Structure 1
Amino acid sequence: MLAFLFCMGGFAALSLAMPRHHAALVGGPLASRRRLGLKLAGWSGLALGLAASLAAWGLAWGVIGWLGLLTTAAAPVLLAHTWWPRAKP
């Protein structure tokens, strides 16, 4: 579960590091310093997700499980990008 949360947080940070997605979800310009921080947080989240998967399942199954978690963790982020801008008044 921890690996899933790390991966989902990483994907959310990486998506918010894109100016278009940041403007749609947050509503404002994206400063270059914030963009760099979000990218760093996103990649760190994905790496921590890999580390948690490896700790839980070992090397072979950990990598396979992490790839599955990446796919599963991307779904809520995708849904947020699909419906969040429409739900704003």
Structure 2
Amino acid sequence: MLLALLLCYAGFTALCLSLDRHHGELLHSKPSPRRRLGLRLGGWLLLLVSIWPAVQAAGWSRGLVDWCAVLMLSALLLVLLMPYRPRLALILAGVGLLASPVAAFATL
């Protein structure tokens, strides 16, 4: 379930960065249309891929419920971090993406 959490958080962070306000706040620049599209596609792709580890861990019936819980938890974490510690939110997404392969091998 850790892998699903890491992927969901990274996906929501990418979707967050695709918005002008958050991109400017975190990276101090306005995203180009191409970067904005890439962040949106990457964010949605990460959210879709995060279904797989949840289903692998608990089956379709319980895995989808667990995935919904992980979605809500990762979104809540991002929403709580953005106003007070926006740089920490970005750092956690990067660390989560780097730790994802380790979490994937740990579930094998």
Q: Same fold (TM over 0.5)?
A: yes
Shift of 1:76: 2.5
Query: In angstroms, what is the RMSD of aligned CA positions?
Result: 1.2
Q: Which runs of 5+ in 2 are unaligned?
A: 87-108
Post-superposition CA distance 1:22-79 (Å, at most 9, x none): 1111111110110011011101111111111111111110110000000111123213
Q: Which residue of the partner structure matches residue 49 of structure 2?
A: 48
Q: Which residue of the partner structure matches residue 22 of structure 1?
A: 23
The one-letter code sitting in structure 1 at the alignment partner of 2:16 is S
Q: How many residues align?
A: 85
Aligned partner of residue 30 in structure 1, secondary structure: coil
Q: Which runs of 5+ in 1 are unaligned?
A: none
Aligned partner of residue 13 in structure 1, secondary structure: helix
Deviates more, 1:67-76 or 1:6-15: 67-76
The one-letter code sitting in structure 1 at the alignment partner of 2:13 is A
CA distance in 1, matches of 2:25, 2:85: 8
Q: Which residue of the partner structure matches residue 72 of structure 2?
A: 71
The one-letter code sitting in structure 1 at the alignment partner of 2:22 is H
CA distance in 2, matches of 1:35, 1:77: 19
What is the percentage of aligned positions where both structures have the same residue?
36
Aligned partner of residue 28 in structure 1, secondary structure: coil
